[in-house]
Amino acid sequence: MEKLKIEKNSVQETLIIPLYGRKMCSEKFPELYTDVFAERLCERLDYDFSELEKKKDSFIYEFGALEAAMRQLDIKWEINNYLSQYPEAAVVNLGCGLDETGKACDNGLCKIINVDFPDVIAIREQLIPESEREFNIACDLRDYSWMDKVDASKGAIFFAAGVFHYFKTEEVKSLVLELAQRFPKGCLVFDSVGKLGTRLMLKTALKNMEIKDIDEFFYVNDPAKDLNWSDKIKVSFRGYMLGYYDMKSPGIRFLHRLLARLGDSLTKMSINKMIFE
Ligand SMILES: C[S@@+](CC[C@H](N)C(=O)[O-])C[C@H]1O[C@@H](n2cnc3c(N)ncnc32)[C@H](O)[C@@H]1O
């Protein structure tokens, strides 16, 4: 079977980090997390995984895999929660990469929409067939024309997993205000890290991959204050690693949970929810 090439040194390449993390997590900690798609997808990519493979048993890489899995579990929790109120809502994956969270939350009624750059969507479409009630939009998220294609008549939940780190603060703010204006009763969920965390984790991870076209990062030290952009947006937040699940699961060590606690408190890893009024 033909393999699909992922360009090196690009934002596109960043989709590898969480995808590989989810594959690794479901191999190592299947009771906590399973991802039937991630392994199959990694096999179909023309990408040199050897560096990641070499490090996969190190504590810090194990923790990185847990980060990818916990983020997806948290976001799934929020989507299911929203769908319990708006079962026919649009579930919109912003910067979807090769992530199938929308499908994993499919209740048989919702609409699933995946948005990413055209080159990523082109790869996605060769690897992942669109299911019933699902479609992809190839567009830069900063070009708001993609929003015209979202039917939010029955509600809409937007989520961005590991995406806004590649945006400037002003770009995130502007996108959020546009969403709030266009989609009353809509909801947006996304992860963020504080300034220290961004420096420590993200930059190291990206430097390892020699990604050069990311010049500025969005960070959030205090969600209640930093995300207070409009009185029409209700902001709430929870710890990214331990805010939804206690991570007490076979194979998860005390040290993993300790680092998770530090991640949430010291480096301000957070899952943020905005409800548009
Ligand atoms: C770290 S990956 C995360 C992928 C996916 N959300 C996941 O959890 O596996 C970041 C994704 O955001 C996409 N992205 C970053 N900036 C974007 C933009 N301005 N417009 C559309 N997609 C963007 C990248 O192409 C990439 O697929």
Instruction: Select from 116, 175, 209, 213 the residue to mutate for testing ligand 1; criterion: most ligand atoms less than 8 Å from CB.
Output: 116
Residues near ligand 1 with C-beta < 6 Å?
11-12, 14-15, 17-19, 95-97, 99, 116-117, 120, 140-142, 161-163, 166
Instruction: Kindly give the confidence (pLDDT) of every residue in the chain, 277 residues in length, as a single tens digit, with 9 standing for 90 and above.
Output: 678 888 777 777 889 989 999 999 999 999 999 988 898 899 999 998 998 899 889 998 899 999 999 999 999 999 999 999 999 999 999 999 999 999 999 999 999 999 999 999 999 999 999 999 999 999 999 999 999 999 999 999 999 999 998 888 999 999 999 999 999 999 999 999 998 877 665 665 566 555 554 456 789 999 999 999 999 999 999 999 999 999 999 999 999 999 999 999 999 999 999 999 9
Number of domains observed in the structure of the chain: 1
Note the pLDDT of residue 51. 86
Note the pLDDT of residue 1. 67
Note the pLDDT of residue 212. 54
- Picking from 164, 238, 171, the residue whose alpha carbon sits closest to that of residue 202 is 164
Q: State in Å: Cα 96 to ligand 1 middle.
A: 6
Note the pLDDT of residue 166. 81
Q: State in Å: Cα 160 to ligand 1 middle.
A: 8
Cβ contacts of 239 within 8 Å, gap of 6 or more:
264, 265, 269, 270, 271
Structure tokens at 125: 């479409």
**Residue 258's domain is classified under what CATH number?**
3.40.50.150
pTM score of the predicted model: 0.94
Q: Domain span at residue 104?
A: 4-276
Note the pLDDT of residue 107. 98
